[in-house]
Structure formats: C-alpha cells, structure tokens
Structure 1
Amino acid sequence: MNEKIADRSMSQTVRAQLALRDMVLSGQLRAGERISELQAVDITGVSRTPVRMALVRLEDEGLLQAIPSGGFMVKAFSERDILDSIELRGTMEGLAARLAAERGVSARQLEPLKECLGDIDQLVQQDPVSVDAFSSYVALNARFHALLNELSGSSPVMRQIDRVAALPFASPSAFVMAQSALPEAHQILVIAQDHHRTVVDAIENREGARAEAVMREHARLAVRNLRLALRNRTHLDLLPALALATASVDK
C-alpha cells in the first residue's frame, strides 16, 4: 500500500513539474514572477507535497530560484547562461557518441538510427521546408538524439544528458521552430543532417574522437539558430521562452 502511495505521489510530482515547466517555457510565467506553493497547487491541481517536490526539481533544472521570503521566482537567463548550457549539452552528447564508438555497436543497434536518418532526409529534401515539416523534424530530431545517446550504454551519461537538455534553450530542438521562418532555414537543416550522418558513420567505424567532435560542433548550431532568431525578431513568437533571456542576450 505504501508503495502505491509513493508511486502516486511520484506521478503527481512529474505531472506538476511538466505543467509548471510548460508554463515557464511558453511565456505564461515570466522572468521575475513569484510562484508560491499554494499558487502552484491551484495551477496544477496537485496536492502540496508533490507540488513542493516539483518546484524543487525545477529549481534544480535552473528554471526557478528559491527566494528567502518563501516560494520561488522564475529566473532570467544571461547570454552566457544559454551558451554554457548549449556547450554543456554538446560536451555530454559528445561523450555519449565517443563511448558508443569506442565500445562498439552492432549493425542491428544502428538500424533504428539509420531509419530515423532516412525519415529526416525526406523532410530536408523539401526546399523551402514547410512549417508542418519543421514540426515533424522536431520529433524526429529528438528521437535521433535519444537513440544516439542510448548507444553509449551508460546510464549515468544518459541521466546527465536528460538533466542538461531540460535547461532552457539547451535541448537539441530548442530553436527549431524559431528558425522555421528564417531565410537560412533549409541551409541549417542540411548542415544538421550532415552532422547526424557523420556521427553515425564515425560510430560505425569506431572513431571515438571524431564522433565526439562532431556532436560538440552539432550543439553549436543552436547558438547560430539563437542569433538568427534574435536578428529576425518578427518570428520570436515561435519561441515564447526567449522572453526569459531576450533582454540580456541582446546586450
């Protein structure tokens, strides 16, 4: 019985965590805005204990900051914060790719990754790429990165990648929709897909250093996408979370 209660509490914590994270990243909760436990209970419909745990988890992710008077505040992010988060993801995904290459993976293990590459190829062949195609790319790109990280065979590495990818603007698809309306959209997708193919080739040939370097460079595409999105400000509505950082990034 106690086990069931613990499972239910964990499920409610995750539910509250996802709901509150979505509100921050969608711009419904703005930088500097205070969130109390009671407010979070009202927002999520979850009881106070799991809500308290959810708020602490979001603090660990860097989205919230505990304040001395009680409750939490939505954090703002400097340009350095964003760039460091992207660099950290690239470092961790590079490590995952290197481990996969050095430890070796079978042709069967690579099949899902290659199938995913084929699906992405069909989208990249469109020029211009439709908004619907970009939406599909977000899902396929997330799947590619997840499959790639699993090939490392390292639970600790995968856990840390999940943690860093939860940071604002750090996920592999953080800026994909914001770039969809840019003139450079197709070119960026072509470069990203070339990185995807190159890292799979490096893993298949057991070239650890090459695989690691490609994934670190691949993460830096997000930096380029951020700057392009900021330059073309008419499309920032495709990335509401940028309200958390626009002021500092534009300096």
Structure 2
Amino acid sequence: MAERDNERSISQTVRAQLTLRDLILTGGLRPGERISELQAVEVAGVSRTPVRMALVRLEEEGLLEAIPSGGFMVKSFSERDVLDSIEVRGTMEGLAARLAAERGVSVRDTEPMRECLAQIDELIAPAELSFDAFSAYVALNARFHALLAELSRSPPVIRQVDRASALPFASPSGFVMAQSALPEARHILVVAQEHHRIVIDAIENREGARAEGIMREHARLAARNLRLAVKARGPMDLVPAAVLIKQTAN
C-alpha cells in the first residue's frame, strides 16, 4: 500500500511539474510573476505535497526562483545568462569527448553517430531547407549529442551533460528553429555537421585535446544563433519560451 501511495505521489508530482512548466514555457505564467502553492494546486489539479515538490524541481531547472516571503517567481534570463548556460554545456560536452578519446573507442562504438550524420547529410542536401527539415534535424542532433556523452563511459559526466543541456535555452538545438528563419540557416548547419565529423575523427584517433576543443567551439554555434536571432528579432518567435529572455534595446 505504501509503495502504491509513493508511486501515486511521484506521478502527481510529474503531472504538476509538466503542467506548470508548460505554462511557463508558453507564456501562461510571465517572467516576474509570483506563483503560490495554492495557485499551483488549482492550476495543476493535484494536492499540495506533489505541487510543492514540482515547484522545487522547476526551481532546480532554473525556471523558478524562490521568494523569501514564500512562493516562487517565474525567472527571466538575460542574453548573458543564456550564453553562459551554452558555455557550460559546451564545457561538459568537451570533457565527455576528451574522455572518450583518451579511453579509446572502436569504429563500432561510433557507428550510430555516423548513421546520424548520414541522415543529417540527407536533410541538408537541398539548397533550400523546409521547416520540417529543421524539425527533423533537431531530433537527429539531439541523438548525436546524447551518443557523444555516452561514449565517455562516465555516468557522472553523462549526468552533468544532461543537467547542462537542461539549463534554459542551453540544449544543443535550443536555437535551431529560430535559425531556420535566417539567411545563414543552411550554412550554419553545414558548419555544425563538419564539427560533428571532426569530433568523431578526433575521438577515434584518441586526440583528446582536439576532441574537447571542437565540442567547445561547436557549442558556440548556438551562441552565434542566439545573437543572430536576437538581432533579427522575428526568428525569436520560433524559440520555445523566448518570452523568458529579456530583450535589450539596440
């Protein structure tokens, strides 16, 4: 009975977390807006205990900030915050790549990554890319980065890569959809694909420093995408939760 109650509590916590996260990411809860436990209970439709846990988890994700007087506030992010999060992710992925290179991998180990690259090559082959092509790229790119982390064979590093990628706007494809509306869109994907090839080559040749360096540089493509999208303004409408990013005046 106790085990069943615990499973039910976890299920309600996840439900509350997903409901509240969706409200934040879609703008239903605005940056700076205060959300109390009671309000969250009404919105999520679950009891206070799982709601309290869900709010704490969203704080850990970086989407909420605890208020000293009680409750939580929806966070906003400066462009610098986002750039720093991308840098953290690049640093952790660089470490994963270096460990993979230094510890050694076989061609068989990197085969799933090369399959990803082959599929991406097909997507970006046309001179003009569709919105659907960019959407498919997001999924393939996420798989490539996940496989790269796994090559480190280090559970602590894999966890830290996952945590870094979960930081607001720091995922490997965080600004790809915004990028799709830019004139440089296809060129940036071609450069990213070349980075992918180089890091596999470096890992297979046990060149740890080279593998680490290319992944740190690769993350900076996302930073470039952010700057281009912010400058163009319109493409930011395609970024999930862009409402949380404070727009600075030109």
TM-score of Structure 1 vs Structure 2, range by shorter chain: over 0.9
2:143 aligned with 1:135: no
Please state if 1:70 is matched with 2:70. yes
CA distance in 1, matches of 2:155, 2:3: 24
Q: What one-letter code is carried by the residue in structure 1 that aligns with 2:163?
A: R
Q: 1:194: how far off?
A: 0.7
Q: Check 1:108–1:16 CA distance in 2 against 1; reply closer, same or farther (3 A cut).
A: farther
Query: Hey, what does 1:149 align to over in structure 2?
Result: 149
* CA shift digits 1:141-172 (9 cap, x unpaired): 11111111111111111111111211111111
| Aligned residue in 2 for 1:124 | 124
Task: Provide the rounded CA distance (Å) in 1 between the counterparts of 2:128 and 2:33.
Answer: 39
User: 2:168 — aligned with what?
Assistant: 168
Letter in 2 for 1:140: L
Which moves more between the two structures, 226-235 or 212-221? 226-235
Amino acid of the structure 2 residue aligned with 1:82 = V
Write the distance in 1 (CA, Å) between the matches of 2:19 and 2:196: 31
Task: Give the 5 Å matches for 1:35-114.
Answer: 35-114=35-114
Q: Match of 1:39, as an amino acid? A: Q
Give unmatched runs, 5+ long, in structure 2. Answer: none
Inter-partner Cα distance in structure 2 for 1:16 and 1:208: 42
Instruction: Tell me the residue number matched to 2:194.
Output: 194
Describe the SS at the equivalent of 1:156.
Answer: helix
| Secondary structure of the structure 2 residue equivalent to 1:223 | helix
Residue 11 of structure 1, CA deviation:
3.1
Answer with 89-98 or 159-168: which moved more: 159-168
TM-score, with normalisation over the residues of structure 1? 0.94
The alpha carbon displacement at 1:109 in A equals 1.9
Q: Is the 8 A contact 2:76 2:246 kept in 1?
A: no
Whole-Å separation in 2 of the counterparts to 1:97 and 1:12: 37
CA distance 1:151–1:51, shift in 2 (3 Å): same
* Structure 1, gaps ≥5 residues long: none
- Which residue number in structure 1 is paired with residue 29 of structure 2? 29
In structure 2, give the amino acid aligned to 1:149.
A
Residue 171 of structure 1 aligns to which amino acid in structure 2? Answer: S
Letter in 1 for 2:155: S
The TM-score, its normalising length taken from structure 2, stands at: 0.94
Partner Cα distance (2:164, 2:14) in 1 = 17
Secondary structure of 1:94's counterpart equals: helix
CA offsets, 1:75-134, max 9 Å, x none?
111222111111000000100111111111222221211111111111111221110000
The AA in structure 2 aligned to 1:242 is A
How far is 1:22 from its partner?
2.8
Q: Would you say how many aligned residue pairs link Structure 1 and Structure 2?
A: 250
Partner of 2:223: 223
Percent pairwise identity: 73
Shift of 1:240: 4.6
On the 8 A contact 1:27/1:240 being kept in 2, the answer is no
Q: Distance in 2 between matches of 1:198 and 1:46?
A: 49
- Per-residue deviation at 1:182? 0.7
Hey, what's the Cα distance between the residues in 2 that align with 1:200 and 1:28? 42
DSSP-derived class of the 2:73 partner? strand
Task: Say which is worse superposed, 1-10 or 140-149, in terms of deviation.
Answer: 1-10
2: CA distance between counterparts of 1:97 and 1:87? 15
Report SS of the residue matched to 1:246: coil
Equivalent residue letter for 1:22: D
1:64 is aligned with what amino acid? L
Q: Is residue 2:244 matched to residue 1:244? A: yes
